[in-house]
């Protein structure tokens, strides 16, 4: 067992098995506390989950010596920083938590491949995932904000970069091939026939509910939202900013127990019922009917992209067309820019499109899978940088970033060692 402290702990007796006494008098072990930082325990189940995540994320051999202790020490360090942030009265607002939650959820959806797969991975609907991890996310933001306060202003000069490069140039990795990209993305629009079918079906469901049929039973039978359908369409408590715009506007305009009209969003057609409302949060349930796929919608999207590609090749401004026509709103605001990325790090759909392009070329329309479905895009290869040995003048800003991160990491490790002598912590692994 390892113990350090900067004061007496409030949970010194926590390092024991968490047990449940059954009716026959026998104790059944549920979990075990493997470490405590201040009054915050780390359970063995949490540690094991983090070890598995670390193995998958870094493609490690599960039998790597010392892996479990390495992950535990990282968890202890995280909780030390959180404890210090609380001690220093660092504040994180609800709005900051919500914004970070939205970003993290979108990243997880992209990693999982779809919203449905993410819900299957966690074994719960998206609304519950957000509730379950909100407090953990707030603590992470506290830690990030404290680190930003301590190390965000760290700077280095050119002489520092030169000294770093002279010392470590032989061990710095080669610069991978990079590409600078822009794209215009178009999501197929449903045909009028598909819209009519969806609206007609959902109106029939709405009429049945008005006639007395149970909403939850209809959601379980007909809703195509696989995350909420098994719960009768229940989305749980959700704050503003978590729904798509059309859904949110409708949900927040309802009174308790009121049923909405048909609401159309990028996902399809919704029927919403507001169950409760508390300030800036609503508890709602819905029935979703997704758009039927239409060859006509796909053809129209491809034809539009073909015409945009043609006029661009004849001199039209790609960035201006992206701002006007792209359904990727985030990149559209900056002229369709996707930034500079390593070629080998591109997702499969992107790699197949980009790998054979020359600088200045625009791809033919290609299908692109996204979390909410799919669409088509054309890609402009603005610049290609071949793989090469890192060079001081050519890659100065890259070397500067590496050197700055190196300095921050050294300062961070020194700070962690200081926290370990001032804040109580103990581990038993």
Domain ranges, ordered by start, for the chain: 2-151+410-427, 178-189+294-385, 192-289
Q: What is the pLDDT of residue 281?
A: 84
Q: What is the pLDDT of residue 53?
A: 79
Q: What is the pLDDT of residue 131?
A: 83
Q: What is the pLDDT of residue 366?
A: 96
- Whether the per-residue pLDDT at 10 is higher than 50: the answer is no
- Whether the per-residue pLDDT at 345 is higher than 70: the answer is yes
The 3-state DSSP class for residue 41 equals: strand
The 3-state DSSP class for residue 381 equals: strand
* Cα-trace Rg, the chain: 27
Q: What is the pLDDT of residue 238?
A: 82
Pick the more confident residue, 146 or 370: 146
Rounded CA separation 66/72 (Å): 10
Task: Give the torsion through C-alpha atoms of 167, 160, 153, 424, to 10 deg.
Answer: 40
Q: What is the pLDDT of residue 212?
A: 94
Pick the more confident residue, 196 or 292: 196
* Alpha-carbon separation of residue 311 from 305, 362, 382, 400 (angstroms): 10, 11, 17, 41
Instruction: For residue 16, give the DSSP letter.
Output: S
Interval 298-326 mean pLDDT: 96
Looking at domain 2-151+410-427, which CATH architecture does it have? Orthogonal Bundle (1.10)
Q: Which fold has domain 192-289?
A: Chitinase A; domain 3 (3.10.50)
Q: What per-residue string of b and e applies to 107-137 under the rule 16 or more CB within 10 Å gives b? A: ebbeebebbeebbeebebbbbbbbeebeeeb
Q: What is the pLDDT of residue 30?
A: 58
Q: What is the pLDDT of residue 178?
A: 96
Q: Which of 7-16, 171-180, 258-267, 418-427 has the lowest average pLDDT? A: 7-16
The 3-state DSSP class for residue 237 equals: strand
- Whether the per-residue pLDDT at 11 is higher than 50: the answer is no
Confidence of residue 266 (pLDDT cuts 50, 70, 90): confident
The 3-state DSSP class for residue 67 equals: helix
Q: What is the pLDDT of residue 367?
A: 94
Rounded CA separation 14/386 (Å): 56
* Range of 40-49, 115-124, 162-171, 346-355 with top mean pLDDT: 162-171
- Whether the per-residue pLDDT at 6 is higher than 50: the answer is no
- Whether the per-residue pLDDT at 24 is higher than 60: the answer is no
Q: What is the pLDDT of residue 189?
A: 84
Q: What is the pLDDT of residue 26?
A: 47
Q: What is the pLDDT of residue 13?
A: 35
Confidence of residue 121 (pLDDT cuts 50, 70, 90): confident
Mean pLDDT of the residues in the chain: 87
Confidence of residue 56 (pLDDT cuts 50, 70, 90): confident
Matching fold, domains 2-151+410-427 and 178-189+294-385: no
Convert the pLDDT of each residue in 151-172 to its tens digit. 989 999 999 999 999 999 999 9
Q: What is the pLDDT of residue 20?
A: 43
Pick the more confident residue, 21 or 188: 188
Convert the pLDDT of each residue in 350-364 to its tens digit. 999 999 999 999 999
* Range of 8-12, 36-40, 51-55 with top mean pLDDT: 36-40
Q: Look up tokens 């390495």; give the residue.
A: 70
Q: What is the pLDDT of residue 3?
A: 47
- Whether the per-residue pLDDT at 14 is higher than 70: the answer is no
Q: Which of 16-20, 170-174, 277-281 has the lowest average pLDDT? A: 16-20
| CATH for 178-189+294-385, options being 3.30.1050.10, 3.30.930.10, 3.50.50.60, 3.10.50.40 | 3.10.50.40
């Amino acid at each position: 067992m390892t113990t350090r402290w900067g004061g007496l702990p409030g949970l010194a007796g926590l390092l024991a098995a968490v047990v449940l006494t059954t009716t026959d008098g026998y104790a059944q072990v549920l979990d075990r506390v493997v470490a405590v930082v201040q009054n915050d325990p780390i359970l063995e189940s949490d540690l094991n989950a983090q070890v598995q995540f670390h193995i998958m994320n870094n493609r490690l051999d599960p039998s790597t010596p010392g892996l479990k202790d390495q992950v535990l020490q990282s968890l202890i360090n995280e909780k030390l920083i959180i404890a210090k942030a609380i001690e220093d009265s660092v504040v994180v607002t609800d709005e900051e938590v919500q914004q970070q939650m939205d970003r993290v959820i979108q990243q997880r959806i992209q990693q999982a491949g779809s919203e449905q797969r993410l819900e299957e991975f966690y074994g719960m609907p998206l609304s519950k995932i957000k509730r379950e991890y909100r407090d953990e996310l707030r603590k992470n933001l506290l830690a990030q904000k404290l680190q930003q306060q301590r190390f965000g202003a760290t700077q280095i000069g050119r002489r520092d970069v030169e000294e770093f490069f002279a010392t470590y140039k032989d061990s710095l990795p080669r610069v991978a091939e990079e590409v600078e990209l822009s794209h215009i993305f178009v999501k197929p629009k449903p045909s009028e026939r598909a819209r009519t079918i969806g609206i007609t079906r959902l109106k029939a469901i709405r009429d049945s509910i008005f006639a007395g049929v149970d909403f939850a039973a209809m959601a379980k039978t007909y809703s195509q939202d696989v995350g909420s359908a098994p719960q009768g369409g229940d989305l749980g408590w959700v704050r503003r900013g978590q729904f798509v715009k059309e859904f949110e506007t409708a949900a927040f305009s309802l009174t308790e127990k009121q049923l909405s009209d048909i609401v159309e969003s990028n996902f399809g057609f919704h029927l919403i019922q507001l169950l409760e409302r508390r300030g800036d949060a609503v508890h709602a349930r819905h029935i979703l009917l997704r758009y039927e796929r239409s060859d006509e919608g796909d053809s129209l999207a491809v034809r539009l992209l073909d015409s945009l590609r043609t006029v661009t090749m004849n001199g039209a401004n790609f960035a201006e067309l992206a701002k006007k026509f792209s359904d990727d709103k985030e990149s559209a605001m900056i002229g369709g820019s996707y930034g500079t990325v390593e070629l080998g790090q591109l997702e499969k759909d992107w790699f197949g499109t980009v790998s054979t392009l020359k600088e200045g070329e625009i791809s033919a329309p290609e299908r692109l899978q996204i979390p909410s479905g799919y669409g088509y895009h054309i890609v402009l290869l603005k610049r290609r940088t071949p793989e090469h040995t890192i060079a001081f003048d050519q890659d100065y800003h890259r070397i500067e970033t590496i050197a700055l991160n190196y300095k921050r990491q050294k300062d961070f490790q020194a700070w962690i060692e200081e926290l370990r002598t001032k804040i109580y912590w103990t581990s038993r692994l």
